């Protein structure tokens, strides 16, 4: 379900056919990430074993590899607290809560209410011991779907609203076939998506079908009735939508992407529509085209990927060759009365955005180069691809009360923030391109600083990617791949200020280096904690005839002159702190800081 429905043609997978694939996904309070080693990393809430790991090695609120789980090619964390994974041999594994038999292992609560270790989903009505020949999976709130090689669909778990699509309302602990009617199985299906208590299917002919709960008009079928068998999704005139290339179901809504790049929404696709404060907006019983919002068009256009979450939505839109992420719906979680959230990633704490807004980075710029997206439960996930260094970056934003953002804290993020403590994303190789040397000196009053720790930070990184200690000449050196970076020089004593890439005390203000070739002779000047000299003229070397050189704190020569009675006025003309180098007649040098404050 929900996740980047974009097709990347150059990826090579282990299975013969993957109809749809999720390589990261966010459930209720937790996150899943598929590495290129076909292993999973998990973090966040683990109340029901949904992380499939303990916190003995790494805390729950930091990414950690799930042990004894391999050969995974797709993962979906759904909208609840259980998870499913598709293996390369076409089997399905499940773990987490099991209140309605949603693990598909033939048992339910109170027998087995939760499972902390992955188990294999049984075959059920397919007649095999375990479910086989699966090409795609999709997880809802308490039910799940699997698409078979035959184009048929099976379902298991909660069926109170007919979301299993088999004409019944009895929950199932093993897979049953989704049916087209009372006698025929649903077939010719290319894609599936499980919502809160409903489902979508996309036929090979480009038509969308829906079934299950319809109290918020999420089926978009022309009425507001619950349907236990699939029915067509229609437009305002009652005509079934056609030329659909991708579908995705949220908690009370659905998204449909047409071949022409337009997006349609059903149900509460604008976010929460009805709560204790009353009706926010009226839902429609048909699919409606999504408007443009902050984009330059009246309608959302040129879209190549969609994702429907708990109560917000995301899309990748192409503008002048660049891929941006837009989002809309709720910006608080789990309801509009909360102060926590930030899943829209537009640096706003407003409750809701009915129309698309651009997702931003920490520098207030639009997030670019988007490749894959996932709208989770109060969290947004984005993978970008940088042509400059052939690198995949992973960004998150939103609610973080359970550590589901993976930073090791519980602080919400209101803009797309890079998460680096993870493996390489599945489908992308580890970086194997050129690396370049970056070197320079750390000085104070132009004298080298020994034993100074220096750290290399890539842009948007929260943690350094490399570090070293300066030698007796104050020299540091890094070997890094192409990137945009900055350097932190950390004082070896209390006599100096730590400095970011120059005379800066904050990372956001630091000098950034575009590293696409070797860079040498970077000079970082540590400022002394006491820069004010009460009366520089009282110094014994401050005498007429001495040569004076004025530098800024980055070591750049600003002025040179012969000391005279007017020299003090020259010093006072500089608003910023400066370095003063005095050379007397015997060629001996002295160094002073001067700050007219």
Q: How far apart (Å, rounded) are the C-alpha atoms in residues 367 and 370? A: 7
With contact defined as beta carbons under 8 Å apart, do 176 and 166 qualify?
A: yes
Q: How far apart (Å, rounded) are the C-alpha atoms in residues 163 and 176? A: 12
With contact defined as beta carbons under 8 Å apart, do 577 and 595 qualify?
A: yes
What pLDDT was estimated at residue 19?
55
Do strands 370-375 and 379-386 pair parallel, antiparallel, or not at all (unpaired)?
A: antiparallel
What pLDDT was estimated at residue 156?
98
Listed as own residue / partner, the contacts of 395-398 with beta carbons closer than 8 Å and 24 or more positions apart are 395/361, 395/367, 395/419, 396/31, 397/342, 397/343, 397/344, 397/345, 397/359, 398/333, 398/341, 398/342, 398/343, 398/345
Q: How far apart (Å, rounded) are the C-alpha atoms in residues 385 and 394? A: 9
Query: Per-residue DSSP letters for 94-115?
Result: EEEE-TTSTT-SS--TTT--EE
The CA-based angle 146-147-151, given to 5 degrees, is 155
- Closest Cα partner for 157 from 202, 189, 195, 118? 195
Q: Which residue has tokens 């203000």? A: 509
Give the dihedral sign, CA 84/85/91/96: negative
With contact defined as beta carbons under 8 Å apart, do 184 and 138 qualify?
A: no
Do 390 and 302 fall into the same domain?
A: yes
Give the dihedral sign, CA 306/307/308/311: negative
**DSSP code of 509?**
G
- Bridge partners (DSSP) of residue 119 are 94
137, part of any domain: yes
Number of helical H runs and strand E runs in the chain? 1, 43
Answer with the one of 525, 553, 575 that is the final residue of a domain.
525
The CA-based angle 439-445-448, given to 5 degrees, is 40
What pLDDT was estimated at residue 497?
81
Q: Which two three-digit tokens encode residue 459?
A: 């842009």
The CA-based angle 191-196-198, given to 5 degrees, is 55
Q: Which two three-digit tokens encode residue 73?
A: 């090619």
Do 48 and 130 fall into the same domain?
A: yes
Q: How far apart (Å, rounded) are the C-alpha atoms in residues 59 and 43? A: 8
Q: How far apart (Å, rounded) are the C-alpha atoms in residues 168 and 348? A: 44
CATH number for the domain spanning 506: value is 2.60.40.10
Which residues touch 125 (CB under 8 Å, ≥6 apart)?
154, 174, 175, 176, 177
425, part of any domain: no
106, part of any domain: yes
Give the dihedral sign, CA 225/278/312/77: negative
168, part of any domain: yes
76, part of any domain: yes
Half-sphere exposure of 451 (CA within 13 A, CB side): 2
Structural domain of 181: 24-361+372-418
- Closest Cα partner for 524 from 491, 549, 558, 480? 491
Q: How far apart (Å, rounded) are the C-alpha atoms in residues 317 and 302? A: 5
Do 457 and 404 fall into the same domain?
A: no
Do 464 and 566 fall into the same domain?
A: no
Answer with the one of 525, 558, 580 that is the final residue of a domain.
525
Residue 253: strand, helix, or coil: strand
pLDDT in tens, 116-162: 999 999 999 999 999 999 999 999 999 999 999 999 999 999 999 99
With contact defined as beta carbons under 8 Å apart, do 524 and 453 qualify?
A: no
With contact defined as beta carbons under 8 Å apart, do 453 and 490 qualify?
A: yes
- Closest Cα partner for 405 from 31, 22, 25? 31
Do 516 and 543 fall into the same domain?
A: no
Do strands 30-34 and 172-177 pair parallel, antiparallel, or not at all (unpaired)?
A: unpaired
What pLDDT was estimated at residue 593?
57
Do strands 253-258 and 263-267 pair parallel, antiparallel, or not at all (unpaired)?
A: antiparallel
Q: How far apart (Å, rounded) are the C-alpha atoms in residues 597 and 576? A: 9
Strand order in the sheet with 557-562: 557-562, 547-551, 578-583, 589-594
Q: Which two three-digit tokens encode residue 496?
A: 């100096």
Number of CB atoms found within 10 A of residue 562's CB = 10
Q: What separation in angstroms does the CA of 541 have from each of 22, 514, 580, 587, 588?
A: 71, 42, 12, 11, 9
Q: How far apart (Å, rounded) are the C-alpha atoms in residues 27 and 274? A: 23
Do 220 and 171 fall into the same domain?
A: yes
The CA-based angle 11-122-78, given to 5 degrees, is 55
101, part of any domain: yes
Do 47 and 126 fall into the same domain?
A: yes
With contact defined as beta carbons under 8 Å apart, do 263 and 256 qualify?
A: yes
157, part of any domain: yes
3, part of any domain: no
Do 393 and 515 fall into the same domain?
A: no
Do 476 and 546 fall into the same domain?
A: no
One digit per residue, the tens of pLDDT, for the chain of length 597 reads 333 332 222 222 232 234 589 999 999 999 999 999 999 999 999 999 999 999 887 899 999 999 999 999 999 999 999 999 999 999 999 999 999 999 999 999 999 999 999 999 999 999 999 999 999 999 999 999 999 999 999 999 999 999 999 999 999 999 999 999 999 999 999 999 999 999 999 999 999 999 999 999 999 999 999 999 999 999 999 999 999 999 999 999 999 999 999 999 999 999 999 988 899 999 999 999 999 999 999 999 999 999 999 999 999 999 999 999 999 999 999 999 999 999 999 999 999 999 999 999 988 899 999 999 999 999 999 999 877 667 898 999 999 999 999 999 999 999 999 898 899 999 988 877 888 899 989 988 778 899 898 999 887 666 788 888 899 999 999 888 888 899 999 988 877 888 888 667 787 788 788 888 888 878 888 876 544 333 444 454 456 777 888 877 666 788 888 887 777 778 778 877 777 777 766 655 555 556 554
Answer with the one of 525, 558, 576 that is the final residue of a domain.
525
The CA-based angle 238-241-246, given to 5 degrees, is 150
- Bridge partners (DSSP) of residue 479 are 437
What phi and psi values does residue 538 have, to the nearest 5 degrees?
-80, -10
Q: How far apart (Å, rounded) are the C-alpha atoms in residues 232 and 31? A: 32
Do 302 and 446 fall into the same domain?
A: no
Do 329 and 461 fall into the same domain?
A: no
Q: How far apart (Å, rounded) are the C-alpha atoms in residues 306 and 314? A: 6
How many domains does the structure of the chain reveal? 3
- Bridge partners (DSSP) of residue 467 are 455
Q: Which two three-digit tokens encode residue 148?
A: 């078979």
pLDDT in tens, 178-205: 999 999 999 999 999 999 999 999 999 9
Residue 569: strand, helix, or coil: helix
Do 582 and 442 fall into the same domain?
A: no
CATH number for the domain spanning 58: value is 2.130.10.30
Strand order in the sheet with 189-194: 189-194, 198-203, 208-212, 227-232
């Amino acid at each position: 379900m929900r996740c980047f429905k974009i097709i990347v043609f150059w990826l090579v997978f282990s299975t013969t056919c993957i109809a749809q694939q999720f390589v990261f996904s966010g459930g209720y309070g937790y996150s899943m990430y598929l590495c290129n080693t076909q292993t999973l990393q998990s973090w966040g809430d683990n109340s029901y074993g949904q992380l499939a790991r303990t916190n003995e090695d790494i805390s729950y609120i930091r990414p950690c590899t799930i042990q004894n789980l391999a050969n995974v090619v797709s993962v979906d964390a759904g909208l609840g607290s259980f998870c499913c994974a598709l293996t390369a041999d076409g089997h399905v594994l499940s773990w987490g809560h099991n209140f309605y038999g949603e693990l598909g292992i033939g048992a339910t609560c109170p027998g087995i209410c939760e499972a902390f270790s992955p188990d294999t989903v049984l075959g059920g009505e397919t007649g095999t011991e375990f479910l086989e020949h699966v090409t795609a999976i999709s997880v809802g709130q308490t039910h799940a779907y699997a698409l078979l090689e035959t184009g048929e669909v099976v379902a298991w778990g909660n069926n109170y609203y007919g979301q299993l699509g088999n004409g019944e309302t009895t929950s199932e602990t093993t897979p049953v076939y989704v049916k087209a009617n009372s006698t025929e199985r649903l077939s010719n299906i290319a894609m599936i998506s499980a919502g809160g208590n409903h489902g979508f299917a996309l036929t090979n002919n480009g038509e969308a079908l829906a079934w299950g709960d319809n109290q918020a008009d999420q089926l978009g079928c022309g009425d507001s009735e619950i349907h236990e068998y699939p029915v067509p999704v229609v437009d305002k005139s009652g005509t079934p939508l056609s030329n659909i290339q991708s579908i995705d179901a949220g908690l009370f809504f659905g998204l449909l992407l047409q071949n022409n790049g337009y997006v349609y929404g059903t149900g509460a696709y604008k976010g929460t529509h009805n709560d204790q404060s009353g009706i926010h907006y009226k839902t429609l019983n048909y699919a409606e085209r999504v408007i443009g919002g902050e984009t330059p068009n009246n309608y959302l256009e040129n879209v190549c990927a969609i994702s429907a979450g708990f109560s917000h939505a995301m899309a990748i839109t192409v503008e002048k060759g660049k891929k941006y992420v837009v989002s809309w719906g709720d910006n608080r979680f789990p309801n509009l009365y909360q102060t926590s959230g930030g899943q829209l990633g537009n640096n706003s704490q407003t409750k809701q955005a009915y129309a698309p807004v651009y997702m931003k980075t920490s520098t207030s710029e639009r997030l670019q180069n988007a490749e894959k997206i996932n709208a989770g439960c109060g969290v947004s996930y984005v993978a970008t691809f940088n042509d400059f260094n052939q690198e995949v970056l992973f960004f998150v934003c939103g609610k973080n009360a359970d550590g589901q953002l993976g930073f090791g804290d519980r602080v919400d993020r209101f803009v797309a923030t890079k998460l680096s403590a993870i493996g390489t994303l599945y489908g992308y190789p580890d970086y194997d391109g050129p690396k370049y040397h970056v070197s320079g000196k750390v000085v104070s009053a132009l004298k080298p600083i020994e034993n100074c720790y220096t750290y290399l930070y890539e842009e948007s990184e929260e943690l350094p990617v490399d570090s070293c200690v300066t030698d007796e000449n104050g020299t540091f050196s890094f070997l890094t791949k192409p990137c945009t970076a900055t350097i932190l020089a950390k004082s070896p004593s209390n006599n100096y200020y730590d400095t970011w890439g120059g005379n800066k005390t904050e990372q956001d203000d630091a000098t950034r280096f575009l590293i696409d070739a070797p860079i040498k002779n970077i000079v970082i000047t540590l400022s002394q904690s006491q820069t004010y000299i009460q009366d520089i003229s009282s110094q014994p070397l401050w005498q007429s005839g001495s040569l004076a050189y004025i530098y800024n704190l980055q070591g750049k020569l600003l002025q040179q002159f012969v000391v005279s009675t007017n020299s003090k006025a020259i010093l006072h003309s500089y608003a910023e702190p400066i370095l003063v180098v005095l050379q007397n007649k015997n060629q001996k040098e002295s160094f002073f800081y001067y700050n007219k404050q």
